[in-house]
Structure 1
């Protein structure tokens, strides 16, 4: 399977939908401004650039980028840019946020602010949507960037956010593996107890929209042969498309292992706020940046649809 096959499908799907109004926060370097302009050219987002106008125009000139037709909301510095972008969402002028050249914690501080932020009843969590060349479906990994040591209560939200994402991306069946180092419940290993609890919560309808199994070791989650050798018979084992990790360190190592050892790409998105948040890294390729925008577009449209149904 050629590299980027899964991303190309996501991009094709997102391009059939109207561009999503997106507040691009502090795009003051070449990589972040180019990412926003490229995504706009593809019809994925309709960007509103939020930040110091003179700096943004200087970067555009330096990188030979055409900003004609793009609205710029002037803000003096990164913190003010984040606050102004959040305001645009609250005013209904943006349905998505995109991180520019500011620190993630600066952006998230404005998002989670008790006064005027974008909190919902859900815990905010991060998902990588990974295009792994050797795997036959996109892999969602959560949480590898926001929740450091999530509690069982946090994991309920992390799992539900990931399931909702998989459904927005058009997965007909969401198969969630709750990862640990083993596939049996061991009272000495907390992640195995939490995995079993999450599966039972799904049985009781406290988590909906996906099929859960766990604890599962990584090999049993993604390799049918490994699952068969261990005699694990479940609809998830060997064919998971969502991997829930025990903590941020495990998730970070898993995602980076796939990127640097298996040639995978990792598109990043933050969920659980009022709108999806596109988190890209300066090291991301153009394809990864575009895929992150496509993922956010599909989530924003799914959210719009569900809000429409709620109003009816």
Structure 2
């Protein structure tokens, strides 16, 4: 992968010849605007700020930015902000959308509403990129928070979505670990059964552009020492580029452990829509939002 650290992610985003124009919904949010200002100054994005124009301008001034340098679209509330953003995408005036000061549920409702035309017919999934001192390279996790209990076909689509992102980041043949509590097929464990099936799909060429191992435990996927001790032989062992979690609970716990206990930096984007969707928590730090913008900019190049 070209991305060895998050600074590399920003560098790759800056290299994009077509700057990503991002519609920022309800942009009157401090961390969101800080990240947008930095990403704009760094040449990563061209923003369209939608929402309470007065508050947006006040925040821009507070952060030392000149409001006249930004395109600001006034909206009377969340619904109007969302509809303006959707309209920009339909008109080709934006090629990504970012959540600002609104509930995730409200934001995603606009994405999944069929009449808005942002769906492609596939399944949406949330992929995150992580950097931690505990691991030797940047890696991805999916699905982090959209699909509750995906079935086998759902997991296949989730992996395919993530592969498109990793390929755009320069990882030509990602090593994919389909996580389970075990590394052997156990018919009583659905996630282990799915892991085995996905590996077979990969071998048969039904899922291309990667190497899939599954089922595989987290320690074997991320620690070559654990693999040696347990005598586990796989090209994915200790070197996974993508961790595929079995369900939303496992994904939520893993991500919060990585960031909370592991001190990992993170960036995320929703995949499977017509354009990259930047869905970050309202409590996310400015740096997390900034790198999520950079990730979406890299992803936009493959759309």
- TM-score interval w.r.t. the shorter chain? over 0.9
Equivalent residue, structure 1, for 2:8: 9
Equivalent residue, structure 2, for 1:105: 105
Equivalent residue, structure 2, for 1:23: 23
Q: Contact (CA 8 Å) 1:213, 1:236: kept in 2 or not?
A: yes
1:176 Cα deviation from its structure 2 partner:
0.3
Separation in 2, partners of 1:146, 1:91: 27
Equivalent residue, structure 2, for 1:177: 177
Separation in 1, partners of 2:217, 2:251: 13
The Cα RMSD (Å) is 1.6
Separation in 2, partners of 1:255, 1:276: 20
Equivalent residue, structure 1, for 2:77: 77
Separation in 2, partners of 1:203, 1:20: 36
| Secondary structure of residue in 1 paired with 2:98 | strand
Q: Contact (CA 8 Å) 1:30, 1:60: kept in 2 or not?
A: no
Equivalent residue, structure 2, for 1:207: 207
- Greater CA deviation, 208-217 or 281-290? 281-290
Equivalent residue, structure 1, for 2:144: 144
Q: Contact (CA 8 Å) 1:149, 1:247: kept in 2 or not?
A: yes
Equivalent residue, structure 1, for 2:122: 122
Q: Unmatched 5+ residue regions in structure 1?
A: 304-312
| Secondary structure of residue in 2 paired with 1:14 | helix
TM-score, normalising length: structure 1: 0.92
1:5 Cα deviation from its structure 2 partner:
6.2
Q: Contact (CA 8 Å) 2:124, 2:272: kept in 1 or not?
A: yes
1:22 Cα deviation from its structure 2 partner:
0.8
Equivalent residue, structure 2, for 1:87: 87
Separation in 1, partners of 2:100, 2:127: 18
Equivalent residue, structure 2, for 1:237: 237
Separation in 1, partners of 2:16, 2:207: 29
Superposed counterparts of 1:56-75, under 5 Å: 56-75=56-75
Separation in 1, partners of 2:251, 2:224: 22
Q: Contact (CA 8 Å) 1:132, 1:139: kept in 2 or not?
A: no
Does residue 266 of structure 1 match 2:266? yes
Q: Contact (CA 8 Å) 2:275, 2:300: kept in 1 or not?
A: yes
Separation in 1, partners of 2:226, 2:48: 48
Equivalent residue, structure 1, for 2:276: 276
1:100 Cα deviation from its structure 2 partner:
0.7
Superposed counterparts of 1:180-195, under 5 Å: 180-195=180-195
TM-score, normalising length: structure 2: 0.94
